[in-house]
Amino acid sequence: MNDCLFCKIEKGEIPSFKIYEDDFVFAFLDIDPKSEGHTLIIPKKHTLDLQSIEKDSLLAILEAAKKVMNLLSQKLPVDGFTIMQNNGAAQEVKHFHLHVIPYYTNTKEKRTPEEIHALITK
């Protein structure tokens, strides 16, 4: 899709803080994070929502979520995760995306996405 924000991010037309990529998915830090390390995982093939995503793409996203969770757990003091996916009117960007939101019980730090990206990718 020519006007899809996430398609443009995946193609590198819009900058992002990429933390994972393979042949099927692209994962990057959310620009308005709910917590440090809040990551969005998208299929590279434009897909609207859960109702229309192909089984292979969904499986690739779930496998990527496990890898992202492991990466974040190794680099940040994560105590748990919320995994979330919106559809329809609840979906801000009309391209399937899975939120991986780290949960912390004892952190007071408020680092920027740039700082988190540097920490995760070093």
Catalytic residue among 38, 46, 95, 97: 97
Strand bridging mode 25-29 / 18-21: antiparallel
**Could you give the maximum distance between any two Cα atoms of the chain, in Å?**
42
- 76 vs 81: CA distance, rounded Å: 12
Q: Read off the DSSP letter of residue 76.
A: S
Q: Is 97 a catalytic residue?
A: yes
Catalytically annotated residues: 97
